[in-house]
A and B are shown apart, each in its own frame.
Chain A
């Protein structure tokens, strides 16, 4: 047994932690409201707009070059109509995580942003509905890594040491040290947020998409986005290697040479357009 901790033990330890991105009260309230079918985007928007700091963060994000809407989105209710409630909810819960990442783990932030960018391009090529959802899933696909680093610092150290000493991918080192990988840890969190399978499956199964219990094509897109962004070498997911390709998943989203060249072109274009993205989010006004 090389496993130092068991999965259940890790799960229990993470549950006790207070600083984990638990649901802000506002999201609990919004979730309750959404259960009422008659609730409108305007009503939801009004609740969020009571919190001015959150509102300004949210509007900065939805107006950023990441989503790239041509028109300016000036109210939260417009943002809900355009991006959907699930995306807005995810952005609310994760906004503080992103802020920490943008300063403390720039390479993982770049990796996440890059994966999201590839996912956006692939969503377009495959005619995926609600493309903003898969973009958002790309942004948070390695959420589990952030949780490990923030909440299990000693284990994180060991993982990083193992990656360097044994030259193994971070996922393998996680399994050795924790008995569970970041994809599953990430899925424990998003489960609490009451998100649809379209967002949770790609996160939980991004390293084994053909085992996804639903939304297999979306899981395949995030799986391949992670591979492609690592291949290009944009940011870092904790180790330098391109992970194994799940061929069943690849068969669902297979692209030929010409289409792949278009994808590379569009990804490069979008990444160049995102050069000022982090500044956009952190600037006042």
Chain B
């Protein structure tokens, strides 16, 4: 799952969450495959961002999963003795890993 500014929307991407405008208007439901017509409708409605399946775009400045998890572990380095916080760290790491899975794989997991 990846949240993308609307300018990165490309035909073929699949919505992981409904597309909602700032005023709460729902344009499309999850599972919708984008095409040029839908994308231009989003732009006209002033939609700023969408959430799509998988992790199709490496945004400028965005770090890879491996690096993000290394930094996550560094941030938790002072609280290694706390089982609650260690569980939180694992939960966040798993959450990130699953987010980057392509849609078909995350389907199988469910």
Q: List chain A positions with a Cβ less than 8 A from chain B.
A: 65, 70, 169, 227-228, 230-233, 240-245, 247, 250, 257, 260-261, 264, 268-269, 272-273, 275-276
10 A-B pairs with CB atoms under 8 Å apart are A227-B88, A228-B88, A233-B71, A233-B72, A240-B75, A241-B77, A245-B82, A245-B84, A247-B84, A268-B3
Q: Does B91 contact A (CB under 8 A)?
A: yes
B82 touches A231 (CB 8 A): no
**Nearest opposing residue in chain B for A230, CB measure:** B75
Asked whether A231 and B92 contact (CB < 8 A) given A269-B3, A275-B49, A276-B48, the answer is yes
A242 touches B85 (CB 8 A): yes
Best-buried of A261, A272, A276 by chain B (most CB within 10 Å): A272
Q: Lowest 7 CB-CB distances: which A-B pairs, in order?
A: A272-B3, A241-B78, A70-B24, A242-B75, A264-B95, A242-B76, A245-B85
Which chain B positions have C-beta within 8 A of A65?
Answer: 22
A245 touches B49 (CB 8 A): no
Query: How far apart sit A241 and B77, CA to CA, in the bound complex (Å)?
Result: 7
Query: How far apart sit A272 and B51, CA to CA, in the bound complex (Å)?
Result: 10
CB distance from B54 to the nearest CB of A (A): 15
Secondary structure type dominating chain B contacts: helix
Query: How far apart sit A222 and B109, CA to CA, in the bound complex (Å)?
Result: 34
Contact of B88 among A231, A240, A268, A275 (CB under 8 A): A231
Best-buried of B78, B84, B91 by chain A (most CB within 10 Å): B78
CB distance from B57 to the nearest CB of A (A): 13
CB distance from A262 to the nearest CB of B (A): 11
Q: Does B23 contact A (CB under 8 A)?
A: yes
Query: How far apart sit A254 and B74, CA to CA, in the bound complex (Å)?
Result: 24
Secondary structure type dominating chain A contacts: helix
Query: How far apart sit A260 and B79, CA to CA, in the bound complex (Å)?
Result: 19
Q: Does B102 contact A (CB under 8 A)?
A: no
B3 touches A231 (CB 8 A): no
CB distance from A33 to the nearest CB of B (A): 34
Query: How far apart sit A268 and B76, CA to CA, in the bound complex (Å)?
Result: 20
Q: Does B5 contact A (CB under 8 A)?
A: yes
B91 touches A257 (CB 8 A): yes
Asked whether A231 and B5 contact (CB < 8 A) given A70-B23, A245-B82, A275-B49, the answer is no
Contact of B5 among A268, A269, A275 (CB under 8 A): A275
List 11 additional A-B contacts (Cβ < 8 Å) besides A260-B88, A260-B91, A272-B49.
A65-B22, A70-B23, A70-B24, A231-B72, A233-B72, A233-B75, A242-B79, A243-B78, A245-B79, A245-B84, A269-B3
Query: How far apart sit A227 and B77, CA to CA, in the bound complex (Å)?
Result: 13
Which chain B positions have C-beta within 8 A of A264?
Answer: 91-92, 95
Which chain B positions have C-beta within 8 A of A250?
Answer: 84
CB distance from B36 to the nearest CB of A (A): 24
Which chain B positions have C-beta within 8 A of A268?
Answer: 3
Query: How far apart sit A250 and B85, CA to CA, in the bound complex (Å)?
Result: 11
Which chain A positions have C-beta within 8 A of B17?
Answer: 269
CB distance from B82 to the nearest CB of A (A): 6
Which chain A positions have C-beta within 8 A of B79?
Answer: 241-245
Q: Does B89 contact A (CB under 8 A)?
A: yes
Query: How far apart sit A267 and B87, CA to CA, in the bound complex (Å)?
Result: 18
Query: How far apart sit A140 and B84, CA to CA, in the bound complex (Å)?
Result: 26
Which chain A positions have C-beta within 8 A of B92?
Answer: 231-232, 264
